Amino acid sequence: MSPAGRASVRSWLIWLTAVAVYLLAVFHRTSFGVAGLHAAERFGVGAAALGTFTVLQVAVYAAMQIPTGILVDRYGPRRVLLTAVLVLGSGQLLLGVANTYGVGLLARGVLGLGDALTFVSVLRLIAAHFPGRQYALLMSFTSAIGYVGNLVATVPLTLLLNGPGWTFTFVAVGAITLLYAVPVALRVRDVPAGAPEPVREPVRVAELGRSVQAAWRVPGTRLGFWVHFSTMFAPNVLTLLWGVPFLVQGQGIPPATASALLTVFVFGSMAGGPMLGTVIGRRPSLRMPLVGAYLGGAAVVWALLLGWSGPLPLGVLVPAFAFLALGGPVSMIGFALARDYNPLDRVGTATGVVNVGGFVATTVTALLIGVLLQLTGGNFRLSLLSVLVVLALGTWRMLTWWRRARAQLFAAEARGEPVPVRIRRHRWDHAPVPA
């Protein structure tokens, strides 16, 4: 089957096997959302040092996205996914036995490395095994299934940490992850049945730079980067680290209730992802208007959360978190842009470039919040203002590259070249594009 044809049952089984790796990766990534307070007690650290756990993990993840895209394009997603499972399992085993802050940091860094290898690999498999019209939908379902890992990393993980304890919990999930390498090795294949295996050439340093530059020069790739940067970092910051401390220490909410509130992000993303994927799969021209609507709404929600006088009631927190949860599904639009504007043999690299965006924003914001909490004596309202600053920066750059991508699209249409999506010209398209 070609990407323009119809997916086989074998391709669906390959996707299901691969997406389970992403589910495991999301579980490992988000486990500190509820384990943060346990880690502070176990390692004897404060807010800034606690924030370093997530900052390190996400920084490793972000730094590895472009190399991962290149590795996937060169060696195939199967080998990269198999490596990811082994690294993830090893990192979680190390975290389970860690008794010092340094070893704990090392373990989270290893987990960040394994996590970095998963999502781009799964998207590359989708691009190879499924027709283009199904890419947005399968991408959204991949994201939604990944949030099951996030769900397990909330209340169930809290119960395990409060029951059997830190070592048993993380050693057990590490062992389960390592065992999953067997079905990955047996089931996953890079290309559909009957398709020739691509020729894998050795990676040359000079070619790496040219491949990344070629992807980065495409305005659609750059637009995807800033879409991802702007939309997914805020819910990530809350679910990865600062959600439970904000609710428990900043709002006086019991830990069990705080953990349950984080499931709003999970269910919101799981419901919103497939719906969004269906809409943009049928009407790609709605992609950027939906991004704009989300960013405008997110600014209003954060202004409400930070400007509320007194403790936030559940009647405000639940709908606010439900809306912010849509940032994950909306960020997937960045990957659809990368696929549309790049040739198939460069999709992995372009996807990696886009995926850097949101995790760079997450790293910077998580670190800022931790430092500001330390400086302000635990004032969450002042510290979380950094979210609005990063949101404003990302929105500004996204709007700039939206204009540039539209200009390139209109120029291609004028030359009679095929374009990934047809859009209507507006009056503001004639104005000079800002730098």
Between 388 and 342, the more confident residue is 388
Tell which CATH classification among 3.40.640.10, 1.20.1250.20, 1.10.645.10, 3.30.1110.20 matches the domain 9-191+212-419.
Answer: 1.20.1250.20
Tell me what pLDDT residue 2 has. Answer: 46
| 279-293 per-position pLDDT tens digit | 877 787 788 899 999
Tell me what pLDDT residue 422 has. Answer: 62
Q: Is the pLDDT of residue 90 over 90?
A: yes
Tell me what pLDDT residue 431 has. Answer: 58
Tell me what pLDDT residue 32 has. Answer: 76
Between 146 and 3, the more confident residue is 146
Of the candidate ranges 46-50, 93-97, 221-225, 239-243, the one whose mean pLDDT is the lowest:
46-50
Record the pTM: 0.75
pLDDT band at 152 (very low <50, low <70, confident <90, very high): confident
What average pLDDT does this structure show over 130-139?
77
Q: Is the pLDDT of residue 4 over 60?
A: no
**Chain centroid to CA 107: how far?**
20
| 292-338 per-position pLDDT tens digit | 999 999 999 999 999 888 888 999 999 999 999 999 889 989 988 88
Q: Is the pLDDT of residue 7 over 80?
A: no
Q: Which residue has the tokens 């859009």?
A: 423
Residue 422 in tokens: 């047809």
**Inter-CA distances, 236 with 243, 422, 426, Å:** 9, 32, 34
Q: Are 9 and 131 in contact (CB under 8 A)?
A: no
What average pLDDT does this structure show over 77-92?
94
Tell me what pLDDT residue 1 has. Answer: 44
Nearest by Cα to 230 from 354, 331, 310: 331
Where do the structural domains in the chain lie, given as residue ranges? 9-191+212-419
pLDDT band at 200 (very low <50, low <70, confident <90, very high): low
| 230-274 per-position pLDDT tens digit | 999 999 888 877 888 889 888 888 887 887 888 888 788 878 877
Between 82 and 269, the more confident residue is 82
Phi, psi of 384 (to 5 degrees): -75, -5
What average pLDDT does this structure show over 340-347?
76
Range of 71-80, 294-303, 337-346, 356-365 with top mean pLDDT:
294-303
Tell me what pLDDT residue 366 has. Answer: 86
What average pLDDT is seen over the chain? 84
Residue 158 in tokens: 């809290």
Q: Coil, strand, or helix at residue 6?
A: coil
Tell me what pLDDT residue 129 has. Answer: 85
Whole-angstrom distance, CA of residue 26 vs CA of residue 24: 6
